Structure 1
Amino acid sequence: MKILVTGTAGFIAYHLALKLLKRGDTVIGLDNINDYYNVNLKYARLNKLGIDKNELEDNKLINSKTYSNHKFIKIDLADTNSIYNLFKNENFDAVCNLAAQAGVRYSIENPHAYIDSNIKGFMNILEACRHNNVSNLSYASSSSVYGLNKSQPFKISDHTDHPVSLYAATKKSNEMMAHTYSHLYNISTTGLRFFTVYGPYGRPDMAPMLFADAILNDRDIKVFNHGNMSRDFTYIADIVDGIIKVIDNPAKANKNFDASNPNPSISSAPYRIYNIGNNAPVSLMEFIETLEKSIGIKAKKNFLSMQDGDVVSTYADTSDLINDFEYKPNTKLSSGIEQFLIWYREFYKK
């Protein structure tokens, strides 16, 4: 299968591309390599995929030096003409759109970046699929869409009409846009609401990296809401397994869809939404303690109030993904943290 994976200089898409390549798929990777965080980490991920940063040019396909079935192209999703030309030339069997402007708090400071990447960029992907007969699209949504919803675990049948950040609003918009194209053009679309993902090559703006960096450099860690928070932490390998199951099984129209009492996660069109997480939330303090034990150093904690746009708890009901694909994460938090720290110490020479 020939698959476009967007965002391959990023955390999740890098790991996905690597797994697809190793099983024999042809993968075209795409990223704009922006400076939202240190680009050296992005180049390091691309290097593991065999892409030499010194060969990168805008709109130029680069052959991997490691995988004969991989090429990479530097394009911004908001660049309409370049996206259309790529689809026209490459004849993809499937698309997995993981590229996006990420970060809840950053969306408060730089809202226009989210509209360009997450709305216009996703629109370009949908239109390119439509006009190039690509009928298998999976894409990243987010647990952030649950917003003010306090009913836990979060169920995909819950309504998500009260986001608390622009980032969440753009992800909700993606789900609605995808449904429109599934309905109008019979494109199979599957949205995955990611919960907190961690592991090697993780994003430096997320808790595991922030905490490890602070502890190993003798700085305070910021503990928001005075530690009274929990997250559905999920190890990257478990997330990738779930994404591949979705790519291999495009969404189908659901004959049980009741338009008079609609379930927002299914449709009479080939459209699907899934939570993808660990289905086992961990308190922030337990997460910190696990990190402390693995590192062997007690963290200096600076307890702070809640941040704007954040939520107290996330907890994924993954029963639909389990029922449809027998999906079940099996990485214990202690094991996942240990693997993350092995990579972290080697990469940052700690």
Structure 2
Amino acid sequence: MTSSKPKILVTRRLPESIEARMGTLFETDVNEADVALTGDDIVAGLQGKDVLVSSITDRIDAGLIARLPRSVRLIAQFGNGIDNIDVEAAWAAGLTVTNTPSVLTEDTADMAMVLMLALPRRLVEGTQMLVRDGEWAGWSPTSMLGRRLRGKALGIVGMGRIGTAVAQRAKAFGLNIHYFSRNRRPPGVEEPLEATYWPDLDAMIEAVDIVSLHTPHTRETYHILSAERLGRMKQGSFVVNVSRPELIDENALVAEIERGHLSGAALDVFENRSGINARLLALAEANKVVLTAHMASATLEARIEMGETVIVNIRTFMDGHQPPHRVLPDGRHGLGRNTLA
């Protein structure tokens, strides 16, 4: 007897509770190896399936979308970012795409704040001094001097949910909040934060001590911190990025740190398709850069909430309704992807 349950392919392992719930609700095929699948693997795995539960490690471009079995009707992304999916090609092929927004706000904002503290206060370097060297000469008035956060100017690029959550945390640490965004926030948001809105990104980055990026990767935001803009930043300032690597011209960032114009960067995301930039790694070894392994959303709570959101999207769609977190191409019914929030 044929199962009436929706048939889904899950490309990466998910928390046990989510896999168990999916197994109850759907006919579920999980990639047990938990390594990125090739396009051929995805096409083969989707034979007779209704739904692809993808993640950011899956490259779902126009070529792959054209090869998907006709049974597939939904791409339910396990993640907020969807720049690994050609949404326009999916739309043209009649596929619905969903994501999991909103659930990552607090965890991502926490990580941004951690990095904002770690870099100027030399936290990683201080740990390595003890653990790697195994010796410590003891406290000294001039040892491990960092930089104070209170009173510094933080420039937030993209004042959406996450950018606002970062601003709230940063305000508690005594930072002065500045932001550039597609839309100015209402007084109810600005006033408690004492936030200054800048309609000109170039002007803002020239005025602040730390630039923190909180915008998706789109055509508009690709290399939003370009070589030219990085060169305009204040002498000795810092860059923090917990969003997408494509937002920064990485080679230009490295060059500005190497020449001493920027004091450093804290990056949870960085170019890694062909291995991490050797010059970036050298700067990390020299404690000019803090690198973390794409951990901003890596809490058990966040992953479970993401999985529950995927389940809601699948069930709503398979019941014949529009899923709550549908993603449309830019300009479609005014509900395209946010760029600068």
- Mark the structure with the bigger radius of gyration: 2
Name the structure where helix makes up a greater proportion of residues. Answer: 1
The two structures have a TM-score, normalised by structure 1, of 0.33
The two structures have a TM-score, normalised by structure 2, of 0.33
